[in-house]
Amino acid sequence: MTGQPDWEDRFLGCLVGLAIGDALGSPLEFKSRQEIVEQYGGPVRNYLPREGTVLVAGHDEYPAESLAPGTPTEDTRLALLHAESIVATGGRVDPADFGPRFVSLLDTEWAAHMGRTTYASLKQAQATGDYQAGLAGERAAGNGVAMRIAPIGLLHSQGDFSRENFLADCEKAAHLTHNNPVAVGAGVALAEAVRVLCRHEIMPEDLMAVALDTLPPGYLGLPLVNNPLRQKLLFAQDYIEERQTLVDNVEANDLLVDFFRIDLNNLERCGTTGYGPTSIAAAFYAFAARKESFEEAVVAAINAGGDTDTIGAMTGAIAGAYHGLAVIPERWRENLKGYSEIVETARALYRVAASR
């Protein structure tokens, strides 16, 4: 790129993009790709209402109220709390500040929307005052860290970069709720994606390789072989390379190919569950496959089914960090609930990060 980057626009794009992906994907959550087509008649490209359903928090079930079209979920709320904490502390990732902010949500309607691990960890923190004792074990290997960690990637996109400090901040953010290395690693991968894409340091198709380079061998005790996060990122890289080969053949031979269908197939191959490695692989694939368009990347992410709000949020965050706010469709921005608050938070985060 030439000229001075519009850093603030990329911060805005990241947090607004996250919220848009979240709001678009929320009504489709838990539906399969086929169910989305059958219910809506084709790919979903606009906000829909989320019908009232039963959500799980901890070991209890709560009837959730319907959400109006364009309303983000707790994925966005938790990410904004991270950003607000960074602003309040002058650019630090401080568990003593963000911990109580997260715990305060237990007394609000957001508690009903939280995943089991996040809810149980915050209840534990509320009782003990320990904001770094998140749950461990296999059930804590989800995408709860990755969905909210984008502000830390934005913070470290400015100033002199210290890999050691970056990893430490990611781990502090993660350990409030998750002490599983798979979940922490997924969070690091997402934060690194936001950081390097905001800076335009890499080509989108190199995202998976860069994320792998950021995770040191044996990081946090993850095995050198049969590492689930590494495996899923490598698979996603393979799918991108296969897709590019097909693109080249199509262009050379003037063929007609439905790349949207191919992308949905590949997203299903990545996996669209709430497991950290599959969510990361799916979000990274959606962005890299549709690197020219914020809109098309998010549309692909949410129409593959599964954990659509979180995968949509992660895709929106990285695509927004790369493209900036200006290219996000106006119809999505105008009808996003809480848009002004998100913009204000993103601007404040940029000012703090730029002063590092």
Q: How many CB atoms lie within 10 A of CB 334?
A: 9
Q: How many helices (H) and strands (E) does the chain have?
A: 16, 2
Query: Does residue 2 belong to any structural domain of this protein?
Result: no
Does this model's pTM top 0.85? My answer is: yes
Collapsing DSSP to helix, strand or coil, 12 comes out as: helix
Name residues whose C-beta falls within 8 Å of residue 304's C-beta, 6 or more positions apart in sequence: 33, 264, 267, 268, 272, 282, 286, 311
Query: Does residue 212 belong to any structural domain of this protein?
Result: yes
305 φ, ψ to 5°? 85, 180
Q: What is the CATH number of the domain that holds 52?
A: 1.10.4080.10
The span from the CA of 92 to the CA of 334, in Å, is 32
The span from the CA of 225 to the CA of 233, in Å, is 13
The residue count of the chain comes to 356
Query: Does residue 79 belong to any structural domain of this protein?
Result: yes
Query: Does residue 224 belong to any structural domain of this protein?
Result: yes
The span from the CA of 156 to the CA of 150, in Å, is 10
Written as one string, the DSSP assignment of 251-296 is HHHT----HHHHHHHHHHHH--SSBHHHHHHHHHHHHHHTTT-HHH
The span from the CA of 133 to the CA of 61, in Å, is 24
The pLDDT > 90 percentage for the chain reads 86
Q: How many CB atoms lie within 10 A of CB 87?
A: 19
Query: Does residue 321 belong to any structural domain of this protein?
Result: yes
Query: Does residue 1 belong to any structural domain of this protein?
Result: no
DSSP 67: B
Range of the domain at 138: 7-354
Catalogue the E-assigned strands of the chain: 53-57, 60-64
Angle at 242 between CA 278 and CA 307, to 5 degrees: 20
The span from the CA of 231 to the CA of 111, in Å, is 33
DSSP 61: E
- Both tokens assigned to 95: 């568990």
Q: How confident is the model at residue 60 (pLDDT cuts 50, 70, 90)?
A: low
pLDDT at 58: 45
Domain count, the chain: 1
**For residue 162, pLDDT beyond 80:** yes
pLDDT at 64: 58
**For residue 315, pLDDT beyond 50:** yes
**pLDDT tens for each residue of 80-120:** 999 999 999 999 999 999 999 999 999 998 888 899 999 99
Query: Does residue 350 belong to any structural domain of this protein?
Result: yes
The span from the CA of 104 to the CA of 99, in Å, is 9
Query: Does residue 174 belong to any structural domain of this protein?
Result: yes
Q: How confident is the model at residue 221 (pLDDT cuts 50, 70, 90)?
A: confident
Q: What is the mean pLDDT of residues 179-201?
A: 97
**For residue 63, pLDDT beyond 60:** no
Per the DSSP assignment, residues forming a β-bridge with 50 are 67
